[in-house]
């Protein structure tokens, strides 16, 4: 199959790298030409077909996979970081990631499968999950089958990405912008060079400043999942003292809107011009959702009960076990944010119970 490559001009290409069995379809890996060789932004899912699509794409851009100079990761998820090790083996490229995501990779690699299950079971019990949800997890724990946390074999990065700094890429002006929320170390990368679409007469196709590689932070038609990553020690803290990833995400949206890039090059779907408009839409969506949750919390609810009453893409009864666990963590993310804003308060601790104030 011919590689799906788009030339975005000015030494920037995107390569569609398939994600097997996933409705997202593919990751858009970006290739940036530098004076020291091509650099990839994200790499794609670790799968033989995905690797073939990536290398065919690099070749179609006019480079050899062996010449790749470096890998910049927007975040640690496997559809972005999966093929990094293979790129490093093939070319000797360095791999760079923000420290907060590198810490998640390190923690996940070191965790014993049993430890991971203990943590999930304790969290779900504190969230008010019923026994029929906990039972399969307890049985797996007792049988020593411990489900492996995702990403146990992910490559360790060999460089950090420092927020606010220009990256060491000869011939390019690319600045890292820390955008925590989807993951704690998510970064967008702002190419501060004039958009090539604005040069050469004609009406400018784009207005604004430069181009933004937005990873999963800002996508044209998807609201990214807000991730709950915590050190096991953090899970023991009072809810008000824990992190607020949704608050971080909303602040990160404001941060990229202030950059007002002329074009956004996201890691899924397609490039789009109006970053500020898309940020406004997402902020409005989240405010609406938070208001809806506050209404549900007129009576005290556990995170499990809140997850059950939230609106999902199908009725709760049809949501599979693993997705219910994710739904509960999404409910907790929203609760933490409402508590931080003083709109909701904890009214019980075993299990946690919350109510609007
Ligand atoms: Zn992601
Ligand atoms: Zn992704």
| CB burial of residue 326 (10 Å; 0-12, 13-18, 19+) | middle
Distance 267 CA to ligand 1 centre (A): 9
Report pLDDT for 203: 47
Distance 143 CA to ligand 1 centre (A): 31
Residue 233 reports pLDDT greater than 90: no
Over residues 46-97, the pLDDT tens digits come to 999 999 999 999 999 999 999 999 999 999 999 999 999 999 999 999 999 9
Report pLDDT for 202: 46
Report pLDDT for 143: 85
Q: What is the mean pLDDT of the chain?
A: 92
Over residues 276-335, the pLDDT tens digits come to 999 999 999 999 999 999 999 999 999 999 999 998 989 999 999 999 999 999 999 999
Q: State the DSSP string of 299-331.
A: S-B-HHHHHHHS--SS-GGGS-HHHHHHHHHHH
Distance 83 CA to ligand 2 centre (A): 13
Distance 24 CA to ligand 1 centre (A): 11
Distance 266 CA to ligand 1 centre (A): 11
**Ligand with the closest atom to the CA of 42:** 2
Distance 147 CA to ligand 1 centre (A): 21
**Ligand with the closest atom to the CA of 186:** 1
Distance CA 262, CA 195 (A): 7
Residues 212, 54, 3, 40, Cα dihedral to 10°:
30
Report pLDDT for 157: 97
Over residues 158-181, the pLDDT tens digits come to 999 999 999 999 999 999 999 999
Over residues 268-278, the pLDDT tens digits come to 999 999 999 99
Distance 28 CA to ligand 1 centre (A): 12
**Ligand with the closest atom to the CA of 22:** 2
Report pLDDT for 230: 81
E strands, 26-82, are 26-34, 37-41, 70-72
Residue 153 reports pLDDT greater than 70: yes
Min mean pLDDT across 1-5, 333-337, 342-346 is at 1-5
pTM: 0.92
Distance 77 CA to ligand 1 centre (A): 5
Sheet with 174-178, edge to edge strand ranges: 174-178, 187-191, 211-215, 263-266
Report pLDDT for 148: 57
Report pLDDT for 152: 58
* Banded pLDDT at 151 (limits 50, 70, 90): low
Spatial CA neighbour of 283 closest among 244, 331, 251, 327 = 251
Distance CA 139, CA 130 (A): 15
* Banded pLDDT at 14 (limits 50, 70, 90): very high
Mean pLDDT of 119-141: 93
Over residues 182-225, the pLDDT tens digits come to 999 999 999 999 877 655 444 455 567 999 999 999 999 999 99
């Amino acid at each position: 199959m011919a590689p799906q490559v788009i030339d975005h001009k000015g030494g920037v290409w995107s390569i569609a790298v398939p994600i097997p069995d996933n409705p997202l379809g593919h990751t858009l890996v970006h290739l940036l030409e530098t004076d020291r060789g091509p650099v990839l932004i994200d790499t794609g899912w670790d799968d033989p077909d995905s690797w073939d699509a990536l290398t065919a794409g690099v070749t179609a851009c006019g480079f050899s996979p062996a010449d790749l100079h470096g890998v910049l990761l927007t975040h640690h998820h496997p559809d972005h970081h999966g093929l990094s090790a293979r790129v490093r083996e093939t070319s000797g490229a360095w791999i760079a990631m923000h420290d907060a995501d590198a810490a998640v990779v390190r923690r996940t690699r070191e965790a014993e499968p049993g430890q991971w299950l203990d943590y999930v079971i304790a969290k779900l019990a504190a969230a008010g999950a019923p026994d029929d949800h906990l039972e399969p997890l307890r049985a797996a724990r007792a049988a020593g089958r411990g489900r492996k946390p995702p990403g146990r074999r992910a490559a360790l990065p060999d460089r950090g990405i420092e927020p606010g700094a220009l990256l060491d890429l000869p011939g390019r002006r690319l600045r890292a912008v820390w955008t925590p929320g989807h993951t704690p170390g998510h970064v967008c990368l702002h190419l501060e060079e004039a958009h090539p679409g604005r040069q050469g007469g004609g009406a400018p196709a784009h207005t604004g400043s430069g181009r933004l590689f937005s990873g999963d932070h800002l996508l044209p038609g998807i609201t990214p999942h807000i991730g709950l990553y915590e050190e096991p020690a953090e899970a023991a803290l009072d809810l008000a003292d824990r992190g607020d990833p949704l608050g971080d995400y909303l602040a990160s949206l404001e941060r990229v809107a202030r950059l007002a890039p002329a074009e956004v090059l996201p890691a899924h779907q397609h490039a789009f011009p109006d970053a500020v408009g898309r940020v406004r839409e997402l902020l409005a969506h989240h405010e609406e959702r938070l208001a809806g949750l506050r209404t549900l919390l007129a009576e005290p609810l556990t995170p499990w009960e809140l997850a059950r009453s939230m609106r999902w893409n199908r009725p709760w009864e049809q949501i599979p076990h693993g997705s219910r666990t994710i739904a509960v963590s999404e409910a907790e993310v929203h609760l933490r944010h409402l508590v931080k804003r003083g709109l909701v308060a904890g009214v019980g601790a075993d299990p946690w119970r919350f109510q609007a104030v």
